[in-house]
């Protein structure tokens, strides 16, 4: 179906084109990948998503991603949360947000406070716990960056014992729950010491969409002529008779920027030495489900956290045994105690995250599509360098004088030709590929590499 929106919204994004060219040049200086063996179409789509071109979606699934494309995209992604499944060539990229991190932030604080004082003796092993947010873990055929990862580590340098991973936490915000469960299944197989898996699912009332051109919201914010501060933005909320809370939508300028419908918790716990956690296994003594919103029903989750603390203690004893030491369970009981979480406090964090999410969506949309500086129709045309005279970039990013092969990296950069188009759907008639930043590309539709979920 033809795009009926005017060319002002679908005009090429000049800044994105320049950034991608610069990013590619920097990336190949830091990774060990031959630029000739990279599919730049996939990398370009990854860059468009990671650079924030469409904040309507918090997760993208890229298919057909090989190891080289993964190295490039992950180098661009930096601290983004992702999962790479090498055999199936699937890459899942999640954009971090205050909203999807809010439920895990509170858990991280509580766990670090409880597990920060483990027993130790002078001249012996010193074991500490770390609650990592978005830490990368690599395996033979996959790599994951979970939202939260709890580990034990000996920091005394007396042994070479690897870290023991105890807990994985993932938060799904407006995502396909089945994809997240599949990711967790693979992680539990790769990390057999895991004793706790937590999944938090945040659902919006309706899928979020960016305001359309010439809509009420478009005209409303265009009339302001500048980016509003978060305070200015939120004071324009339709209903300010009561403070913004989880039960209310954040509707400003006739457009709903964030409206939560439900927040659910799923937790799986296993005993040390027991069978691996089975994500498909629900409704048993080893797994529970709770609700944080629209009402707090977390009693069964609290009971599972009591089991989790017991499993943590047993894991700590086992870890010390691997280090050649032993501690009485009583010492660890005294150090850890009980785990108590204020679910009301968690709701408050979600409210703050909802405000941040609404403003982030507004800010990205306004700067990409509405403000006048994003309507320019200038051209950026990189010179067409003859193939045999292009300088070659080796896998370490250094220049080479080889002239026997085509430098695919430079070809890709030279192909980032952005020229004025006569219509919103027709590419510029030039021999090199046009980096399309039309709405279709930015919104992620009609692309063979990206599947919206």
Query: Which one of 319-328, 329-338, 349-358, 402-411 scores highest in mean pLDDT?
Result: 349-358
Question: Above 60 in pLDDT, residue 419?
Answer: no
The pLDDT of 166-176, averaged and rounded, is 81
Question: Above 60 in pLDDT, residue 401?
Answer: no
Q: Which domain holds residue 226?
A: 216-257
Of 8-22, 161-175, 349-363, least confident by mean pLDDT is 8-22
163: in domain: yes
- Six-digit token pair at 8? 């002002």
Residues 446/439, Cβ–Cβ less than 8 Å:
no
pLDDT tens digit sequence for 185-208? 888 988 888 999 999 999 999 888
**Do both 78 and 140 map to the same domain?**
no
pLDDT tens digit sequence for 352-363? 999 999 998 898
CA 22 – CA 436 distance, rounded (Å): 17
**Do both 249 and 324 map to the same domain?**
no
For residue 67, report the phi and psi dihedrals to the nearest 5 degrees: -55, -40
429: in domain: yes
pLDDT tens digit sequence for 97-133? 678 778 888 888 888 877 776 666 655 667 888 888 8
Provide CB contacts within 8 A for 152, sequence distance 6+.
127, 128, 129, 163, 164, 166, 315, 316, 319
Say if strands 90-94 and 59-63 run parallel, antiparallel, or are unpaired.
antiparallel
Determine the distance from the C-alpha atom of residue 7 to the mean position of all C-alpha atoms in its chain, rounded to a whole number: 31
CA 50 – CA 413 distance, rounded (Å): 18
Residues 197/167, Cβ–Cβ less than 8 Å:
yes
**Do both 134 and 283 map to the same domain?**
yes
Provide CB contacts within 8 A for 426, sequence distance 6+.
none
Compute the 3-state secondary structure of the chain and give helix, strand, coil in percent, each to the nearest 5: 35, 20, 45
- Going by C-alpha positions, the residue among 290, 283, 285 that lies closest to residue 270 is 285
**Do both 105 and 134 map to the same domain?**
yes
**Do both 66 and 138 map to the same domain?**
no
- Going by C-alpha positions, the residue among 162, 102, 152 that lies closest to residue 132 is 152
Of 82-86, 234-238, 445-449, least confident by mean pLDDT is 445-449
For residue 180, report the phi and psi dihedrals to the nearest 5 degrees: -65, -40
Confidence band, pLDDT 50/70/90 cuts, at residue 85: low
**Do both 274 and 384 map to the same domain?**
no
369: in domain: no
359: in domain: no
For tokens 């023991």, the residue is: 164
Q: Measure Cα distances from 142 to 139, 183, 363 in Å.
A: 5, 10, 34
Of 9-23, 57-71, 172-186, 228-242, least confident by mean pLDDT is 9-23
**Do both 25 and 138 map to the same domain?**
no
β partners of residue 150:
131, 167
CA 399 – CA 306 distance, rounded (Å): 58
Task: State the pLDDT at residue 218.
Answer: 93
CA 85 – CA 229 distance, rounded (Å): 40
331: in domain: yes
Q: Measure Cα distances from 155 to 110, 130, 149, 362, 446 in Å.
A: 22, 11, 18, 44, 50
355: in domain: no
Q: Which of 341, 360, 391 is the last residue of a domain?
A: 341
The pLDDT of 377-390, averaged and rounded, is 36
**Do both 405 and 392 map to the same domain?**
yes
**Do both 321 and 201 map to the same domain?**
yes
**Do both 198 and 73 map to the same domain?**
no
- Six-digit token pair at 7? 């060319």
298: in domain: yes
Residue predicted with more confidence, 249 or 87: 249
Give me Rg for the CA atoms of the chain: 25
Task: State the pLDDT at residue 343.
Answer: 92
Q: Measure Cα distances from 355 to 65, 106, 182, 374 in Å.
A: 34, 17, 30, 25
CA 106 – CA 112 distance, rounded (Å): 10
For tokens 């597990």, the residue is: 115
CA 332 – CA 346 distance, rounded (Å): 27
CA 131 – CA 55 distance, rounded (Å): 27
- Six-digit token pair at 366? 């306004």
Q: Which of 341, 357, 392 is the last residue of a domain?
A: 341
Task: State the pLDDT at residue 43.
Answer: 81
357: in domain: no
pLDDT tens digit sequence for 279-319? 887 767 789 999 999 999 999 999 999 899 889 888 888 88
Q: Which of 197, 226, 257 is the last residue of a domain?
A: 257
Mean pLDDT, the chain, whole residue set: 72
pLDDT tens digit sequence for 55-65? 555 667 777 88
**Do both 139 and 152 map to the same domain?**
yes
CA 384 – CA 363 distance, rounded (Å): 36
**Do both 299 and 180 map to the same domain?**
yes
Task: State the pLDDT at residue 106.
Answer: 83
pLDDT tens digit sequence for 35-44? 888 888 888 8
What b/e string do you get for 233-245 counting C-beta neighbours within 10 Å, with b at 16 or more?
A: bbeebeeeeeebe
Alpha helices by DSSP H, listed for 339-452, are 343-365, 408-414, 439-443
Provide CB contacts within 8 A for 47, sequence distance 6+.
16, 19, 20, 23, 73, 76
Task: State the pLDDT at residue 33.
Answer: 84
Question: Above 50 in pLDDT, residue 13?
Answer: no
Q: Is the dihedral of CA 301, 175, 68, 389 positive or negative?
A: negative
- Six-digit token pair at 254? 């006739």
Of 191-200, 227-236, 417-426, least confident by mean pLDDT is 417-426
Total number of domains constituting the chain: 3
What is the residue-wise DSSP string for 43-108? HHHHHHHHTTS-TT-SEEEEES--HHHHHHHHHHHTT-EEEEETTTTEEEEE---HHHHHHHHHHH
């Amino acid at each position: 179906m033809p795009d009926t929106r005017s060319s002002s919204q679908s005009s090429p994004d000049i800044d994105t084109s320049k950034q991608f060219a610069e990013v590619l040049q920097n990336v190949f200086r830091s990774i060990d990948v031959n630029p000739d063996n990279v599919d730049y179409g996939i990398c370009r789509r990854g860059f468009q998503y990671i650079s924030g071109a469409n904040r309507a979606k918090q997760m993208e699934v890229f298919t057909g991603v090989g190891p080289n494309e993964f190295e490039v995209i992950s180098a661009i992604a930096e601290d983004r949360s992702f999962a790479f499944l090498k055999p199936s060539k699937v890459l899942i990229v999640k954009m971090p947000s205050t909203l999807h991190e809010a439920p895990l932030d509170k858990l991280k604080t509580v766990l670090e406070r409880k597990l920060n004082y483990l027993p130790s003796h002078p001249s012996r092993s010193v074991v500490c716990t770390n609650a990592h947010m978005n830490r990368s873990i690599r395996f033979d055929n996959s790599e994951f960056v979970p939202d939260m990862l709890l580990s034990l580590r000996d920091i005394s340098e007396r042994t070479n014992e690897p870290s023991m991973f105890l807990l994985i936490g993932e938060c799904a915000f407006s995502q396909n729950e089945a994809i997240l469960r599949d990711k967790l299944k693979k992680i539990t197989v790769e990390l057999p010491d895991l004793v706790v898996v937590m999944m938090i699912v945040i659902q919006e009332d309706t899928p979020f969409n960016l305001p359309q051109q010439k809509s009420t919201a478009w005209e409303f914010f265009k009339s302001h002529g500048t980016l509003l501060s978060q305070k200015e933005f939120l004071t324009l909320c339709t209903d300010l008779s009561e403070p913004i809370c989880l039960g209310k939508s954040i509707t400003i300028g006739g457009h709903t920027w964030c409206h939560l419908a439900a927040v659910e918790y799923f937790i799986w716990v296993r005993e040390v030495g027991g069978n691996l956690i089975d994500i498909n296994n629900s409704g048993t003594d080893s797994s529970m489900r709770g609700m944080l919103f629209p009402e707090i029903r977390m009693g069964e989750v609290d009971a599972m956290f009591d089991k989790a603390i017991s499993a943590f203690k047993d894991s700590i004893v086992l870890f010390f045994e691997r280090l050649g030491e032993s501690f009485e369970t009583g010492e660890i009981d005294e150090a850890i105690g009980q785990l108590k979480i204020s679910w009301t406090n968690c709701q408050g964090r979600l409210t703050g995250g909802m405000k941040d999410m609404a403003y982030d969506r507004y800010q990205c949309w306004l700067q990409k599509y509405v403000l006048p500086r994003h309507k320019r129709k200038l051209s950026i045309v990189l010179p067409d360098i003859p193939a045999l005279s292009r300088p070659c970039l080796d896998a370490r990013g250094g220049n080479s004088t080889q002239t026997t092969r085509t430098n695919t990296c430079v070809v890709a950069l030279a192909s980032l030709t952005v020229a004025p188009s006569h219509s919103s759907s027709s590419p510029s008639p030039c021999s090199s590929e046009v980096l399309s930043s039309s709405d279709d590309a930015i919104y992620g539709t009609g692309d063979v590499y990206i599947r919206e979920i």
